[in-house]
Amino acid sequence: MKIKSVALVYKKSSYELYAKVRKDHHFLNLIERAHPIIGRFVPSHDAHEASVNEVRSILKKMNIRVKNVYRAKSFSEKGLDLVITVGGDGTFLDASHSVSSVPILGVNSNPDDSVGMFCGVTSQTLESYLHLMIEDRVSPTKMTRLKIQTDSRQIQTPVLNDILITNSTPAATSRIEIVSGQVREEIKCSGIWISPAAGSTAGIRSAGGKILPIESKRFQFLVREPYLLPGHKSKLISKILKPQETLTVYSKMRTGGIYLDGSHRSHRFPLGEKAMISTKAPILVVYGFNKRRRALFK
């Protein structure tokens, strides 16, 4: 493949955000006291900065044009051959929301302290991996993503990891109505996870969901902590859906919320609102997926 122009999507470390950018007094006080709770922050910051600098140096050496993008910003794919993220899975997920047709490659900037499921390449292995890509000697992993549409909007964010529909107040009961096929049920719970295959080793797995093969086109949902009266059963606590199916969820909450791939992207889900979830989002073409790390979950 041709790699002449890339977007380099980077994160700012927790140390940089709280100590340098926001100058958070509480955080600075913890640093001054050498509090053990933040003992890893400075080493993690140093490792991340070194990785970012090394990645930029490699791209310059290979005469690849670079468009630098902070992870919190959206960007256009126009004119790009590849998107490279430097950070961890959170940075990768944030960047993926702006990607529909260009391949993406995740570089784990701190592999000693990061899961990096989507980031199987490091700054030390990046140059050789890019050459393998250019020579078409490595194949990408094609990942299904979810599309979500509500009564009031068609949400543009394609979801790779998971959707969480819940009450925006964590201690409050989530009241939802679920429709799947011909079955319709009202459920009280702490929320509902909806996840494609790529996210099936994340939050939904911790809640009891099934691990799907990484390139599976199916998706699943799982209700968190359902409240069922003794003797009552539900048919819609969890289910794996076919690619052509749609899951519908109605809000019976005044303060419901929809959270996409974590907490950074969210939408209100007020009383009476309907959300429809399908696999109609663009497939994500991923290079450098960490298959060894994922195999640990089998």
Strands of the 191-196 sheet, one edge to the other? 238-241, 219-224, 191-196, 163-167, 256-260, 265-269
Q: How far apart are CA 122 and CA 87, in angstroms?
A: 10
The answer to whether residues 210 and 220 touch, using CB atoms and an 8 Å cutoff, is yes
Closest to 77 (Cα-Cα) out of 159, 6, 4? 6
Q: Tell me if residue 89 is catalytic.
A: yes
Quick one: CA dihedral 128, 131, 135, 138, positive or negative? positive
The order of strands in the sheet holding 5-10 is 65-70, 5-10, 82-87, 104-108, 284-287, 141-143
Q: Which of 24, 46, 81, 89 is catalytic?
A: 89
Nearest Cα to Cα of residue 87 among 102, 105, 101, 100: 105
Beta partners for 287? 105
**Other Cβ atoms closer than 10 A to 228:** 13
> CB under 8 Å to 237, separation ≥6 — which residues?
187, 222, 223, 226
In the DSSP assignment, the letter for residue 67 is: E
State the helix-helix crossing angle for 41-61 and 126-134, rounded to 10 degrees: 40
Q: Which residues are catalytic?
A: 89
